[in-house]
């Protein structure tokens, strides 16, 4: 009986294991003591990407969630929008960060409810249209262009039957990070086959002028 129980537990553990995981690739700089967290600093903006932070399922069974932490050591306000974050492959394809708002927009509109934020931010203001999804979060009142084509294009990429509230709560919301600020939350990408070499790109954009002033590039591999 003991052997059968051990075997059943082992099978259950394997069944819960995400078959495809992002790991820092060759040449990536990892955070001390955190081998699954890669980091890079460009123009004073420090970016960390933790590919092992999401612990619950079924999100990791169908997507590749990564926790992105941005520390703005530049003198500029930093715009944060999903179109600025991509995973690029060797053949030139780009996977966009999937916007979570449309997944729950109808539920929120129908109930009028908003989720308590699970992201962490200091001197961070969410995009005007995103504030209604998060309880007690201050919006950005400066310029912030809305790209409906981007949302329409990637809305259909979301898998069905995901825990929508959980996905939204922990997402890195679009917004603006002031100089000296810090924000941390999850971005969600579509899975890729094991062995695929990818590069995480973060375009750095001035939150006031819209000027691009740098690009962060961190190599990853699908394991």
Q: Name which residue leads in pLDDT, 114 or 218.
A: 218
* HSE-CB for 220 with a 13 A CA cutoff: 34
What does the angle CA 150 – CA 65 – CA 76 come to, to the nearest 5 degrees?
60
Question: pLDDT per residue over 30-71, tens digit each?
Answer: 999 999 999 999 999 999 999 999 987 778 888 899 999 999
Q: Which of 3-12, 118-127, 214-223 has the lowest mean pLDDT?
A: 3-12
Question: pLDDT per residue over 158-214, tens digit each?
Answer: 776 666 778 888 999 999 999 999 999 999 998 888 999 999 999 999 999 999 999
Mean pLDDT of 69-83: 97
What is the spatial distance between Cα 160 and Cα 87, in angstroms, rounded to a whole number? 22
Examine the pLDDT at 6 and tell me if it is beyond 90. no
Examine the pLDDT at 108 and tell me if it is beyond 70. no
Structural domain boundaries in the chain: 22-222
Share of the chain above pLDDT 90, in %: 55
Residue 4: per-residue pLDDT: 40
Residue 68: per-residue pLDDT: 98
Looking at every residue in the chain, the average pLDDT score rounds to 84
Mean pLDDT of 118-126: 94
Residue 131: per-residue pLDDT: 86
The 10 Å Cβ neighbour count of residue 79 is 26
Residue 177: per-residue pLDDT: 98
Beta-bridged to residue 70, according to DSSP, are 47, 183
* Among 204, 223, 189, residue whose Cα is nearest residue 93: 189
What ranges in the chain are assigned the alpha helix state H? 2-16, 59-62, 101-111, 148-155, 164-170
**Cβ distance 51 to 36 under 8 Å?**
yes
In order of 17, 99, 221, the CA distances from 172 in angstroms are 24, 10, 22
């Amino acid at each position: 009986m003991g052997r059968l129980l051990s075997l059943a537990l082992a099978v259950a553990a394997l069944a819960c294991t995400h078959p495809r995981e992002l790991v820092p690739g060759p040449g990536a700089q990892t955070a001390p003591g955190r081998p699954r967290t890669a980091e890079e600093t460009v123009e004073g903006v420090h970016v960390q990407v933790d590919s092992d932070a999401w612990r619950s399922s079924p999100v990791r069974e169908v997507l590749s969630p990564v926790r992105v932490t941005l520390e703005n050591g530049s003198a500029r306000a930093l715009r944060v929008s999903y179109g600025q974050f991509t995973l690029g492959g060797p053949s030139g394809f780009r996977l966009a960060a999937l916007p979570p708002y449309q997944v729950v927009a109808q539920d929120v509109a129908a109930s009028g409810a908003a989720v308590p934020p699970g992201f962490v931010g200091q001197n961070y203001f969410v995009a005007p249209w995103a504030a209604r999804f998060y309880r007690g979060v201050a919006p950005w009142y400066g310029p912030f262009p809305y790209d409906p084509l981007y949302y329409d294009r990637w809305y259909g990429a979301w898998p069905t039957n995901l825990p929508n509230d959980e996905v939204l709560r922990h997402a890195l919301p679009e917004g603006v990070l002031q100089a000296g600020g810090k924000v941390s939350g999850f971005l969600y990408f579509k899975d890729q086959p094991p062995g695929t070499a990818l590069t995480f790109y973060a375009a750095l954009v001035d939150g006031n002028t819209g000027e691009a002033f740098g690009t962060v590039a961190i190599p990853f591999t699908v394991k």
